[in-house]
Structure 1
Amino acid sequence: MFDIGMTELLVIGIVALIVVGPKDLPGMFRTLGRFTAKIKGMAREFQRAMDDAADDAGVKDVAKDLRDATSSKKMGLDRLNDAASKFEKWEPGKSAKSGSAAGSETAKLSEERAESSARILEATGRAASERKAREAQAAAPVKTAGTGADTPLSTTSSDKEQG
């Protein structure tokens, strides 16, 4: 409120001592204290009256509603912040065995799906027929254009020199 330092108070006290005199100085300070107390009481009463008027008008309810409306929790921003922080901490190159709980669940699901896929293929017999077809393609001779000679799929340079 007032920016009065210790030196200013000392100067005011010395001037009051000279002007009022040492005999009447305690009475003056008592009167000044009572006056200050009355002013503070009036300020408190005014503040209380303003608070009561604000309560009657519903200002506190409106202020509470505004605080709730701007609350990040009410708006769902706390969940958004959690998701953003999880995304920032996410390391996609990390393996599932490195301790990530979500990664281990993903690895378990992946293994379960691979096992069920293998069981389905075995049950239908497709796996065996596909395996035989791949082996047959790998061992079957391939005709080369121009010579009409049959050569295996994989030939090395030493095979070409001998054949």
Structure 2
Amino acid sequence: MLDLGWTELLLIGIVALIVVGPQELPMMFRTLGKFTARLRAMARDFTRAMEDAADEAGVKDIAKDLKKATNPKEMGMDALKDAVDFDEIDPFGENDDAESKPKSTASAPETQPLSEERAEAARKIRESTAAKATARLEAEAAARAEADTQSAPEPSPAPDADPSKA
């Protein structure tokens, strides 16, 4: 709203007292009060009309759904409720007949294909790693052998031998 301090209001009051006069000043303040009351009433009616229009358009329902979707606690509980139906579980084993057993195993994830896929992936990784390690060891051995042949001194002729006879 307006940012008027006490000093500004005092200055406006003094100027109004001088310009309007002391006899008409109360009537002017009363008129100003009625005017501000009308403005506030109009603003309140406008706000109420906008809220009613938003309610008719379903904005509150959308906002509530959006809050529910972004609430991690509620989302986790919904997933838990979907995963397990607690009404069908008998924790004390009082009803052991087949009809009373939980049906959650039918909707349980299939772990056997996943474990087979993981085992196959692990086998491929091991084979690839072994092949690369073997290739690296062979390359290191070849490099060592080459370095050994280059660093070995050439055999010098025997001291007894005459270079001119050769």
TM-score (norm 1): 0.46
Q: Give TM-score scaled by structure 2 length.
A: 0.45
Where relative contact order (Cα < 8 A, 6+ residues apart) is larger, the structure is 2
